[in-house]
Amino acid sequence: MPSTAWIFPGQGSQRVGMGRTLAETEPIARVVFERVDEALGFRLSDVIFNGPEEELVATRNQQPALLATSTAYFEVLKQRGQLPEPMLVAGHSLGEYSALVASGALDLADGARLVRRRGELMEEYGLGGMIAVLGLSESVLHEVATASGVEIANINAPGQITFSGRAEALERASQLAREAGARRVIPLAVNGAFHSSLMLPVVEGLRPLLEETPFFRPNVPLVANVDARLLTEPDDLRAELAQQITASVRWVDVIRRAMEYGVSHFFEVGPGKVLSGLTTRIGRDLETAHAEAVLRD
């Protein structure tokens, strides 16, 4: 059997109705959604299953919704014996919370409260925005960032990078990227410049709750978004969740670090298959699977 890493998606993988069939047919999934509802003090599950979409995509709802749904998929797959044992876990931005819940480092209810607060703070301090740029090398994009005053937010795959910044800087970056030969420049539907220095007030606002939340040693290491280190100590995990709010999500480095440790199979645990697609662009020989396809079989 190939060595496996579990990977957990972040914002952008949500859709109205995700996890509803699982909750209707699998008691263990229903318990997950009920626990998140109880932790938050309202029925987030109604928004997840029925919408409206504008409520689900609100950052304060989207983040705990993805945590709940990814955890529901995880619990069903584990109960059915359809989830290979991992060597490592990783998550894309918000997905790090799901990875920590799945690896035993964070209680689900505590994780739900953390990401709900994280989303509220991101809405409150939502300055600027983000764009995705396709088809340029990382070195050229660093030049564009320096010249325009934006920051690299996500290094998702070769030729797929996102910028964060204020509106005028993003406009300048879009122009420079097109002039440099970018295949596409896409404004992202987010309410702030995530993973940039503009999110520093979010770090300060979330820090007290992070500090009082219990963290435990995970069953397997987490590959960190910020620098691709393997983390197992509770204080390091807590620090990672603070740092990743303003730091770039270095997904290419995360996957390559996992490969260095012998991982060749990546199992995406959550709605959609965004990370599976990114992962095979990083390593063409890598094997991927995603929860929705496995549960349909």
Helix or strand run (H / E) with residue 279: helix 274-282
- Given the residues 45, 103, 195, 248, select the one marked as catalytic: 195
- Burial class (CB within 10 angstroms; exposed 0-12, middle 13-18, buried 19+) of 9: buried
Structure token digits, residue 266: 């990546």
Cis peptide before 52 (omega within 30 of 0): yes
248 is catalytic: no
β-pair partners for 6: 89, 267
**Which residues does 260 contact at the CB level (< 8 Å), separation at least 6?**
none
- Given the residues 45, 70, 93, 174, select the one marked as catalytic: 93
Distances (CA, A) of 73 to 26, 123, 212: 10, 27, 28
Q: Within a 13 Å sphere around the CA of 197, how many CA atoms are in the beta-carbon half?
A: 4
Q: Which amino acid is at 248?
A: S
Q: CA-CA-CA-CA torsion for 161, 164, 170, 176, nearest 10 degrees?
A: -30
142 is catalytic: no
d(CA 261, CA 268): 18
Q: H helices within 197-233, ranges in order?
A: 200-212
d(CA 186, CA 134): 8
Helix or strand run (H / E) with residue 99: helix 95-102
For the annotated catalytic residues, the residue numbers are 93, 195
